[in-house]
A and B are shown apart, each in its own frame.
Chain A
């Protein structure tokens, strides 16, 4: 126990050290978090009336972000599988970045649910024994269980590995491997349960399609990894952590497969709805064409579709996949595309038209935007803190000192602009 405290104290000492870039970045995030908190306090004080949600559209931007981020978190397995099932070294070196991303995304998910509920003061009603968790009846209860399990699982795996490395020991794979393997079905479960949460509602034909869970998974394996590709490049440009091109290209290749399945499933759904042309077509018509003069989502969803298809082509062709300009364009397109499709594009048409045929066109208010911004900043803040600890440890620049108590900190800077070391320069040097 004493060693854990020494490790945590060491981590806090480390977190305080950093370059001016590090301080600027963290202050920037903290400022956004403060703004978000103020907006949330205002929402607590006035009630959810300050959002654009109403009885017809009873979930909005918060739950959209929640759904999207569950996908981002689930995508960490796309690193775990090649790293630990196939023992592929270039990805094994970076798998921990995916696990830490999952931790940050899960915290964001929980925050988005918290800001959405009307009575956050009663959250303890969800705790079994003290309150009542309606398990296994309610899918929301399932979601509470699997999201928290996944959060703890990733935190424990990454935490244990870093802790061992800090004390200059190899992590005991006898403990870690079962957890890592368990994190694969756990990742699939968080997204499946979140899909079932919508899927199980017969009142909402747009969600009540059995293709929903597979579509969720397919799109998750696009958006999460696309985000990671961008992050990896930022990390290797701004810190002294090495990430091989090979690893990035492999992730991009996996995205191409996932995006193919995603587009295929989307096509299957569009075909079924339009060809059978039943009363259940209305929400999809509202989304893609507009209905009765209500066209708020049409331009968004077509943007998303265009982005996703373009990105699919960019990732499919090896030449564009392995060119950093087109690769990054593709990643940004996928991130935005899936953010629209799995966020507002999924949640809102479930409510429009509403169950009695009323149209309420939803678009988030400034409070919702500010709170959302605050939560994204919180997620990035957590990820930055986790990386501040993880990267020096993995680089061997942060470990316990000779006395066995005080830490040795080699990496005083963390964030700094690295000279543009490209692959070619490396080759030249060799």
Chain B
């Protein structure tokens, strides 16, 4: 081989090596946060599961999220991580004889819990059922749209997360990104969920929803009072669900969940089942109560009843 050929080969090799290097860097840059990204991006990427965080780490995480959301939505955003109250087990009862199917609960929930508006995510789904058939899930209308409710011959059944005592959804999660808290509420760590949607397949009540698209929450409509495991804005590609409004109910000056508050006919009852004086404890023993899909042994803490 002549000198020239050797050199040419060398030159070629060098450029190829450079090209490969460039390709490797390019691919790496795609997978990892960009070089210019602030330290918080790295922190977010390597954040541990919420249940493994120490007190100081939680504080740091909340501060980071507050800063991020405040900048993104242009207003001061509070992110709490209030733990379950001692001696509390939440229960919920819904009066089917009162519900008029107005869907105010659906939209009250969307506003309170920062659900995506585009596409719309609803944590509550109201089913229209024919009175002559009763609770028959084979014949439900999800998209009823009359000018006036209630309609003759129909009754309405809102369905949301039943906060099961034996939840099929938490069991199947491959990374323990979802679990049942001590107050009985099933929550999701949106920063740990990998978006496999196995929990959605496992839920018998259609209570889990996926963020198919990012940025569906307009800044103006964002509710800045949030909880880490509850209504804080969700990233794209993760699963979310009803939490009985833990950002409201877990506070000492606690409020009812938004859906209870907004219901115009008082069909929704909420309280702690460990308190004998609570409304929920009044309803369960004396009304005609049933739970949905009892045969699946999910043991919901969401009860349906008929007051009349």
Which residues of A approach B to under 8 Å, CB–CB?
46-49, 51, 53-56, 58-59, 113, 116-123, 125-126, 131-134, 137-141, 144, 197-198, 200-204, 279, 282, 350-351, 353-358
Contacts and interface: CB of A to CB of B under 8 A. Distances in A.
Contacts of A144: 174
B201 A59 contact: yes
B84 interface: no
A351 to B, nearest CB: 8
Interface string B121-152: 10001010000000001111010000000000
A201 B175 contact: no
A357 B127 contact: yes
Contacts of A197: 198
B21 interface: no
Contacts of B139: 357
A49 B237 contact: no
B171 interface: yes
A353 B137 CA distance: 10
B290 interface: no
Given A59-B197, A117-B194, 14 more contacts: A48-B210, A51-B212, A55-B209, A118-B195, A119-B237, A122-B193, A140-B174, A201-B168, A201-B202, A203-B203, A355-B137, A355-B205, A357-B139, A358-B142
B214 interface: yes
A356 B122 CA distance: 14
B137 A202 contact: no
Contact of A131 (B138, B171, B175, B214): B175
B194 A119 contact: yes
B56 interface: no
Contact of A204 (B194, B201, B238, B297): B201
Contacts of B173: 134, 138
Interface of B: 31, 45, 49, 52, 119, 121, 125, 127, 137-140, 142, 159, 168, 171-177, 192-198, 200-206, 208-214, 235-239, 296-297
Contacts, number: 146
Contacts of B49: 125, 131-132
Nearest to B49: A132
A113 B174 CA distance: 13
A356 B171 contact: no
A355 B208 CA distance: 11
A356 B174 contact: no
A354 B206 contact: yes
Name which of B52, B140, B235 has the most chain A CB atoms within 10 A of its CB: B140
A147 to B, nearest CB: 12
A144 B172 CA distance: 13
A132 B159 CA distance: 32
A356 B194 contact: no
